[in-house]
Chain A
């Protein structure tokens, strides 16, 4: 096995990435298997048999499409992680001032995955991250997460509201569903007391700065993220605080167990490129399309090169080495 690695000149980290790639495809098959079961359960209800069969065929075709798309995207992430697609090295992380991540609560219980994700985010150079899951699983595990990523330094602000923890290079904020609608209700009570406490009904309407101040006062303030990455089965923000989601770009990354470094880099890179282009010429869509087409072309070129040149040469070398032994 070691000889094979030496002769084929495959670095060990690439082998790990290949293993991750294969595991991801297996997870994908299991996920679509579960989805197919759900669809079969729905179709087994009463009704026209012909229509039910057609419906299942339609959904089966959609599942095949998503599976193939997923395989291509995983392969692309693998190439990005191996530094083969080098265009993503020009990532300008300063454009992402505040990154938010919505994680499905069930998946968030796998803390090792969360640690790995945060490590990737820190490696890319992001300074501030907001972690959200609806049931507050990440908030409950704030201690182990912050211990992993923080030094002994805690800011004064953290001592007051217990949510913000500052590490040397990664500030983490933990948010859950109660920081959304319920926080707005608490802020409404705060505003009621503040503006109606003198016993007279104020005539002027509340303003957005007053609302932001009220949310801050009850401990649910915070900046609006530039980019929100959703790690879950569905493209749905699961109740992220409405007040902080107004102009945030939302990207669905797939389930946490299928996460990959390459897809994270690509999502952040796309944001920085589209955002830059949006500011200059408001043609964000055409830029996104160009990125996708260029990526597709690069992948095809790499596959052709690998098939016609690299693989065949490396396999020949391996066979020669075996024969000489």
Chain B
């Protein structure tokens, strides 16, 4: 009996919270709403230490905080969200920690694919960005399954950066561009066009005509599935980008609240959006110039 009352009270609280959020978001929507928000989820381990929790419990709390933040973003009308789940640098942590994090990631990817998950509720298409070949086979396969399972969704996009660093992304784009140019050149050569290898041997002056441009590189970036982020939120007060979206963050507002990731809430998102709205015209001008 008491459990039923408790459940009902919980549901009422949730409806009230949802109604309040709708009111706040309708006020915020008067101004420009960011199209793409990126999150660096820093502070899970420190949270676990602070609360004297077991190893891994910080990451689980972090996952709950993430689901809430994504829900708020999609309700507000933010179409693209990117999260920094696991960096290539994180492979250097203790093997047991990497193993438990990978186990958690596998578990959560499976949860996301389920019918009743938030992903299907908000029509979210999932992409995994990064050097997925560095991941273990079960995680890589789960990631590929998630991408296929959500390929029919088109309302919003969630990009999960796994085994990702910006420098690796740039190198990968350069590699792909070089491979593409080589293939183009070889194809022209085989057709007998004769000028297929001009950019290898150079023209009469010995100068090489540059053939790879910024647009080619941007086409091959992992993060090309979404536009450049409008806001990057990094928790725990750290002011570094830690090799995250460095190429894409040229005209992006950086927001670093001093709370740990599992402590993040609606208020921080509202503050970030208000900051974005105050700086919108300046950032838009800078984007046009570049």
Which residues on A are within 8 Å of B, measured CB to CB? 35, 38-39, 42-43, 47-48, 51-52, 54-55, 58-59, 62-63, 134-135, 177, 180-182, 184-189, 191-193, 195-197, 199, 201, 205-208, 211, 233-239, 242-243, 245-252, 282-285, 288-289
* B237 and A201 form a contact (CB under 8 A): no
Question: Is B182's CB under 8 angstroms from A242's CB?
Answer: no
Whether the Cβ atoms of B170 and A249 lie closer than 8 Å is no
Complexed CA–CA distance, A63 and B182 (Å) = 55
Given A189-B212, A208-B167, A288-B258, A246:B237 Cβ within 8 A: no
Looking at B53-61, B93-101, B173-181, the stretch in contact with chain A turns out to be B173-181
| A54 CA / B240 CA spacing, docked (Å) | 35
Q: Give min CB distance, B171 to chain A, whole Å.
A: 5
Additional A-B contacts beyond A236-B252, A236-B253, A251-B239 (14; CB < 8 A): A39-B278, A42-B32, A47-B30, A51-B29, A55-B27, A134-B286, A184-B214, A196-B182, A233-B279, A234-B253, A235-B253, A238-B251, A288-B237, A289-B258
Residue pair A187, B174 in contact (C-beta under 8 Å): yes
Q: Tell me the smallest distance from the CB of B172 to a CB of chain A, in Å.
A: 8
Choose one: B167, B213, B214, B278; the contact of A35 (CB below 8 Å): B278
- Contact A189:B166 (CB < 8 A) given known A51-B30, A250-B254: no
CB of B31 within 8 A of chain A?
A: yes
A233: chain B residues at CB < 8 Å are 279, 282
Interface contact A247-B243, CB-CB below 8 Å: yes
Chosen A-B contacts, 16 in total, with CB atoms closer than 8 Å, are: A48-B30, A51-B29, A51-B30, A62-B274, A181-B250, A185-B214, A192-B177, A192-B199, A199-B197, A208-B167, A211-B174, A233-B279, A243-B246, A246-B243, A249-B240, A288-B237
A38 interface neighbour in B43, B175, B281, Cβ under 8 Å: B281
Q: Find out whether the CB atom of B283 lies under 8 angstroms from the CB atom of A246.
A: no
Give the 10 A-B CB pairs with smallest separation, nearest first. A242-B246, A239-B250, A55-B30, A285-B237, A188-B174, A234-B279, A188-B212, A246-B243, A192-B178, A189-B210
Which B residues lie within 8 Å of A283 (CB)? Answer: 46
Q: How far is the CA of A173 from the CA of B16 in the complex (A)?
A: 56
Taking CB as reference atom, which chain A residue is nearest B179? A201
The answer on a CB contact under 8 Å between A284 and B238 is yes
Contact across chains for A249 and B253 when beta carbons are under 8 A apart: no
Shortest CB-to-CB span from A230 to chain B, Å, is 9
CA of A189 to CA of B247, assembled, Å: 18
In the bound complex, what is the Cα–Cα distance between A205 and B208 (angstroms)? 22
A205-B175, A245-B241, A285-B238 are known contacts. Are A51 and B32 too (CB-CB below 8 A)? Answer: no
Inside 8 A of A206's CB, which chain B residues have their CB? Answer: 171, 174-175, 178
| Given A59-B278, A237-B254, A284:B237 Cβ within 8 A | yes
Q: Are B27 and A58 in contact (CB under 8 A)?
A: yes
Asked if A205 meets B240 with Cβ closer than 8 Å, knowing A39-B278, A233-B282, A242-B247, the reply is no
